């Protein structure tokens, strides 16, 4: 018995070390582009330098409303990290966040299922972690969403703690924690709404299971009051709820998961299908007895949200990992029992097979982690500039030639261009969308970019730009090539810059072309919010 315990203890320690190495390998190798990263730095710098949020937009030349920024606090944290530790901190901090997210999820899984961590199935570990990393936007740069994914398993842990200690005074401590945690969450990221929704589903489930709910009602009431503690007061609450019902079909991560073309999205689809089949299979085997309706409702709703929008996939993965582990274990034990009886394997051989299986899994994961670390050294992987995904050369050309004016450009490049060229350049719009702009303006930009409006250029007839940034793939690039009022003044492997002919100079200074960031100048900007 003691030998078995020691084996499990050693196995769990090795597992934790291996998981850290594997997550590090994934983190440095997969740094997908986050076009809103620069807007986060802008708001974060304003918060740090002034002690207040930037609620009036200064970057755009089109009409804007109050900037309701649910991510103002996380933006300040990201800015402080980048400002203090530089470019390398972007990847290292993402690695730390994902590591914490995974282990907090694991700890909550262990507590919820009353299963010691060392006895949690190792394959379950790896599958959960791998899917979690590639779900939603987890594998991109450090994003404000990571704060939500960090808080969610803690939120679920507190809900379970209240339940387990409902009849004693200890639960009161956890009742206070929910509002305090929500106060932090709602100023870090707008997905705090998910926390409220999950708590409500939890209460509904308890009602059906005929369990007391009074303490949860108190906690929800206290939590709802926290929403008024923000830089914008009650208007922020209205903004959050309005944002929940917006149609964001233009944006890839807000599109239905089923339409995703990337490999990691197809893997997520497989995970969604397989986990639900296993869950239903377990319900059938147990003849739908002893159903925990809180768990059932949370799984069903987050499952639906994951199909509706790929962005919500991490919500389901975290909730499913915590609430479906017992179902997974039940099915594994049933399968193991049937196989053992069928081929008559004795317990000693079963143990050897288990050890061999664990060694095989560990070696495979370690080899893959090593492959990622060797393939993509951290110094060359940060911000993934290899495909020239930011208009680096264009921004440098504008800076060197002191070009000024209002610029129309694809919205996803907006915050980078604003960060690098303010105050000389005012952008049409960036990825803040409903936070700053009327959604009609976003629609009209997309129609123009895709050449879907009958009156070519009606959006820019109203908001006439001095400059255009474009790529050949966009339909409006043909509009510019045939427009006698604009002149091409810069072109690299991907981007073209046009300017009004009357504003064009006879000659422009040339620049040294690059397809990567200079780590010493990447965060240079003229944005400075300190009082002069």
Q: What is the DSSP string of 189-246?
A: -TTHHHHHHHHHHHHHHHHHTT---HHHHHHHHHHHHHTT-STTTHHHHHHHHHHTT-
What residue ranges do the domains of the chain occupy?
Answer: 2-30+87-375, 386-503
Residue 210 CB partners (closer than 8 Å, separation 6+): none
pLDDT mean by block of 10 residues, the chain; 532 residues: 66 83 84 84 96 94 94 96 87 90 92 86 80 78 90 96 86 89 96 94 96 93 95 93 82 81 81 91 89 95 93 92 90 76 67 78 84 69 58 94 95 94 94 88 85 65 91 83 91 93 93 79 89 60
Full strand arrangement of the beta sheet holding 425-427: 425-427, 405-408, 467-471, 495-500, 486-491
Q: Are 130 and 176 in contact (CB under 8 A)?
A: no
0.85 exceeded by pTM: yes
Beta-strand relationship, 495-500 and 467-471: antiparallel
Chain position carrying tokens 């956890």:
174
Q: Are 134 and 267 in contact (CB under 8 A)?
A: yes
At residue 457, the pLDDT reads: 54
At residue 385, the pLDDT reads: 47
For the chain, the maximum distance between any two Cα atoms, rounded to a whole number of angstroms, is 88
Q: How many CB atoms lie within 10 A of CB 528?
A: 11
**Strand, coil or helix: 465:** coil
Among the listed residues 390, 394, 409, the one whose alpha carbon sits nearest the alpha carbon of residue 469: 409
DSSP 384: -
Distances (CA, A) of 107 to 16, 92, 110, 321, 445: 12, 22, 5, 11, 46
At residue 453, the pLDDT reads: 63
**Strand, coil or helix: 422:** coil
Give dist(CA 63, CA 438) in Å, integer: 8
Using only the alpha carbons of the chain, give its radius of gyration. 26
């Amino acid at each position: 018995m003691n030998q078995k315990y020691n084996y499990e203890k050693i196995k769990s320690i090795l597992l934790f070390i291996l998981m850290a190495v594997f997550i590090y390998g994934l983190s440095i190798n997969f740094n997908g582009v986050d076009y809103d990263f620069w807007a986060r730095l802008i708001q974060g710098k304003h918060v740090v330098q002034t002690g207040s949020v930037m609620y009036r937009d200064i970057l755009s030349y089109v009409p804007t409303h109050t900037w309701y920024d649910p991510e103002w606090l996380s933006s300040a944290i990201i800015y402080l990290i980048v400002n203090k530790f530089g470019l390398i901190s972007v990847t290292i901090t993402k690695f730390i966040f994902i590591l914490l997210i995974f282990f907090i999820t694991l700890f909550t899984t262990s507590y919820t299922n009353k299963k010691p961590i060392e006895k949690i199935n190792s394959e379950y570990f790896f599958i959960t972690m791998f899917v979690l990393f590639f779900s939603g936007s987890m594998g991109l740069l450090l994003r404000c969403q990571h704060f939500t994914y960090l808080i969610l398993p803690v939120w679920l842990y507190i809900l379970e703690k209240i339940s387990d200690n409902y009849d004693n005074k200890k639960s009161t401590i956890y009742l206070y924690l929910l509002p305090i945690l929500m106060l932090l969450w709602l100023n870090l990221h707008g997905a705090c709404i998910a926390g409220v929704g999950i708590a409500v589903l939890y209460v509904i489930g308890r009602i059906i299971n005929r369990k007391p709910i009074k303490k949860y009602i108190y906690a929800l009431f206290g939590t709802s009051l926290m929403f008024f503690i923000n830089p914008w007061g009650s208007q922020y609450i209205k903004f959050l709820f309005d944002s929940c019902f917006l149609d964001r079909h233009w944006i890839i991560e807000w599109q239905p998961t089923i339409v995703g073309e990337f490999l990691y999205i197809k893997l997520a689809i497989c995970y969604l299908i397989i986990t639900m089949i296993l869950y239903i299979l377990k319900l059938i085997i147990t003849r739908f007895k002893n159903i925990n309706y809180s768990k059932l409702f949370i799984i069903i709703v987050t499952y639906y949200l994951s199909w509706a929008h790929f962005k919500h996939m991490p919500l389901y993965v975290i909730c499913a990992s915590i609430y479906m582990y017992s179902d997974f274990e039940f099915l594994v034990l049933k399968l193991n029992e049937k196989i053992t009886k069928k081929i008559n394997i004795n317990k000693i051989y079963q143990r050897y097979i288990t050890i061999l299986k664990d060694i095989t899994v560990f070696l495979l994961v370690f080899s893959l982690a090593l492959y990622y670390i060797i393939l993509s050294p951290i110094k060359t992987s940060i911000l993934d500039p290899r495909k020239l995904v930011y208009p680096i050369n264009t921004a440098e050309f504008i800076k060197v030639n002191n070009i000024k004016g209002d610029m129309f450009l694809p919205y996803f490049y907006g915050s980078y261009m604003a960060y690098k060229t303010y105050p000389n350049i005012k952008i049409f719009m960036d990825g803040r969308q409903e936070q700053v702009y009327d959604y009609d303006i976003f629609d009209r930009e997309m129609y123009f970019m895709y050449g879907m409006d009958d009156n070519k250029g009606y959006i820019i007839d109203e908001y006439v730009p001095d400059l255009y940034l474009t790529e050949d793939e966009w339909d409006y690039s043909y509009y510019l090539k045939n427009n006698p009022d604009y002149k091409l003044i810069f072109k690299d492997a991907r981007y073209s810059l046009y300017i009004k002919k009357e504003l064009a100079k006879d000659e422009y200074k040339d620049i040294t072309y690059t397809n990567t960031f200079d780590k010493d100048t990447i965060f240079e900007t003229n944005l400075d919010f300190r009082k002069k």
